[in-house]
Structure 1
């Protein structure tokens, strides 16, 4: 199938999937409101086979040291799949399935599958990483750039998004932007920080007088980034930044790594 953008619709909701641009969700409209920041590097991109930063781009696989390109010096950030072209496995009016073959610079063969499912009041993203050969550590996550303010068809811009969540802890952030290994009581924002939510990620964004959106996931890790004027990022993921070193999750031939997140919304 073609790698051109795919448009999914359900009721008043519309999603644009861009396989050729890193398998990202490049647009999400509900009732004329565009929820995602527009631009080639924005929308919502998949973070795979790792999330956030790897310290100095290096991680251990047993006794072997693997080196990733330093695309955010002095670290490697956000995986490799967002920089590649994905293939379309199938698409219908409200669902798309896209795949990505792991290639250099990632040193292990494998396949990533992402399923994008749109309903009238929600979007569900599911992802898996599988290997046909050697086992390897990996992470899965999503990096949405939600618009801080929403503009309707009439051009009127509402109030800025408000964040509400109750994490059990915050990962202390070092000067190198990576978790130190200490867990601290959650501190007030602005944030570029990782939080623990053992009962599952549950974060609410509210644009007063316009829309409420909930980001949920069974995963217990979420990075919140709201230091930018244009957008707010709420990133559910299977482990913390630098997790290939500190909390490795192995993909094996009989056990893929799987994760999902759902965004649900309502007018207010």
Structure 2
């Protein structure tokens, strides 16, 4: 697999390699990327985002609170919580990311639907965890990793659980509670077909304006931006499974390929076609 040797400065070509590892349950996607200029707008994932930065540093707001990867070598971002991302300096950054299925971290055992500790403490200062992640990423570049990668993933998840467990039993309102949570559930169920605010208002017995305010206040981005991010996430999986961009656009709920292209580039800094081709380099 080709890699960049450094993040590259302003104006440098951004590099993205993404793939879905075969026979490794629990990992929905692997992404290795170098960005000199791209900044991530506010968005969410349905997965846990586990990343290490190999060169440079990333600044980000998580749930509208500022953080940076300089704080610790490992960063864990929980599902459903709004965040952005940008280079901490003009030299850009190079990162490796695992997108973990939500069930990999036991929400019932971790408290607050599994997101409270990670929202409060996304930076994890654990050299052992960092080393295990580095090893896992190296193994995942082998298409036949199989059981070896599963074993390494189990060690990573065990270590993450240890870091999140101290917050067990903490109180507070989880992201699925209240009107905003019900609207998010509706958007998740209608990701492809979509839903108008008027229809959502009728279904949830709330004024559309109140829906937008409640959702934006709770999740840090308006409903349409959340829906865009979910559709892009769906399209990413389809592209890495080999679906052409036009078909992925239609299947994920975009009006057409051009609509997918605009949203994809805005969020990920690369075109859908380039993203899809990057996955073939690991097969």
Identify whether the pair has TM-score above 0.5, normalized to the shorter chain: no
Q: Which has the higher helix share?
A: 2
Q: Which has the higher strand share?
A: 1
Query: Structure 1-normalised TM-score?
Result: 0.27
